[in-house]
Structure 1
Amino acid sequence: MKQSSGLFENITTVSEAARLAFISKLEEIKADKGFKMEHEGQVSNYLYYISEGSARSFYIRENRDITVSFSLEGEFVTAMHSFITRKPSYETIETLEKSLLYRISHSELQACFEEYPEMERAYRIILEKYFIALEEQRIFNKFKSARDRYLELMDNKPKIIQKASVGQIASFLDMTIETLSRIRAKI
């Protein structure tokens, strides 16, 4: 894995032995655009690291495709509720482009925690980042105007504007395609 150091760049308390053990359990996946990493209705068995590429999480309700989140290079992604609770997922996760992914199964991750307890702290840090992003997204959609939501996306994750479809972006920002088109025309 050529970018293995990126996995722990912000986590300095992981020993070299733990880092190497974790990396040895990773499975490399070269995925085409549209590769389904996780499926709604199935238990999420893997935690993914996006080495190259991007992904989106979404669900379908009343024949509407609703984008929940986007993930980019250097980020971990899974259907977190399902991965933790071992219950079926509410969402599907798919790649937005050709991607290089690394994944570890739930059982292999638990084995890492047993052998290297400091890995649990690294995992907690990953979870904290996930939940902070989730809470920011909830606040982002509830209290900001459509224009402000789009501008914030441009500031925080500009690559999404290039990688996702207009419909996916509009869904993520909780607006219609027409509203998004009007906003983009004025910027």
Structure 2
Amino acid sequence: MKKFEEILGAYPNVSLEAIEAFKSKFESATFQRGDLLEKEGQVANYLYFIQEGAARSFYVRDKRDITISFSLDGEFVTSMYSFVTRKGSYENIECIEKCSCLKISHEDLQKLFLSYPEIEHVYRLILERYYIALEDQLVFTKFKSAKDRYLELIENRPRIIQKASVGQIASYLDMSIETLSRVRAKI
């Protein structure tokens, strides 16, 4: 829970009472490698905080597995579209290693917003970070060369290289495994 408390500590305008109420609604959960936190077509009912481990978000189209993001310890993860809209998810979220998580239900989170508006503010800031990360990923994959995408991944999120498979990394970087192999060979 230490990393979770550090994240909450980044928001100094939140009362101790609100933080304690927020923490009290999270429950611990452990998932094994390959377990799905969220499944395509189902409504995402939980917001997860990864205390330890790693997960990836992906979808399958035309029998191709397309990785759209990775989440590491100290980060929140869910199918945000589904969690917010209450519609079926278009993505799967899979643990790529054993994960120790904290999770809060959509229902509990909504109740907290009513009792503690400052928690809603923190949630909005978390959503803003999520949105910025998605926009960065869009720019990252559409406007940079394969080599630059790989170098930026090494520089900004090197732990992904250690935790994910070559195929998952290639998919995330929007390139084939062969292209990724060529890029890696030249570095």
1:28 matched residue in structure 2: 28
CA distance in 2 between counterparts of 1:108 and 1:128 reads 21
One-letter code aligned to 1:105: S
Q: Does 1:40 align with 2:44?
A: no
Q: Tell me, yes or no, if the aligned pair for 2:112 and 2:119 is still in contact at 8 Å.
A: yes
2:140 matched residue in structure 1: 140
Unaligned runs of 5+ in 1: none
Structure 1 segments of 4+ aligned residues over 4 angstroms from their partners? none
Q: Tell me, yes or no, if the aligned pair for 2:3 and 2:74 is still in contact at 8 Å.
A: no
CA distance in 2 between counterparts of 1:176 and 1:11 reads 41
CA distance in 1 between counterparts of 2:14 and 2:150 reads 37
CA distance in 2 between counterparts of 1:4 and 1:90 reads 27
Question: Within 5 Å, which residues of 2 pair with 1:106-185?
Answer: 106-185=106-185
RMSD of the TM alignment (CA)? 0.9
Deviations 1:123-174 (A, max 9, x none): 0110000000000110111110000000111111100000000000000000
1:73 matched residue in structure 2: 73
One-letter code aligned to 1:154: I
How far residue 185 of structure 1 moved from its aligned partner, in angstroms, is: 1.1
The secondary structure found in structure 1 opposite 2:94 is: strand
How far residue 53 of structure 1 moved from its aligned partner, in angstroms, is: 0.7
Unaligned runs of 5+ in 2: none
How far residue 2 of structure 1 moved from its aligned partner, in angstroms, is: 4.3
**Percent identity, aligned pairs only?**
61
CA distance in 1 between counterparts of 2:115 and 2:89 reads 28
TM-score by length of 2: 0.97
TM-score by length of 1: 0.97
Deviations 1:57-103 (A, max 9, x none): 00000000000100111100100000000000000001111111010
Deviations 1:19-70 (A, max 9, x none): 1111111110111111110000000110000111111000000000000100
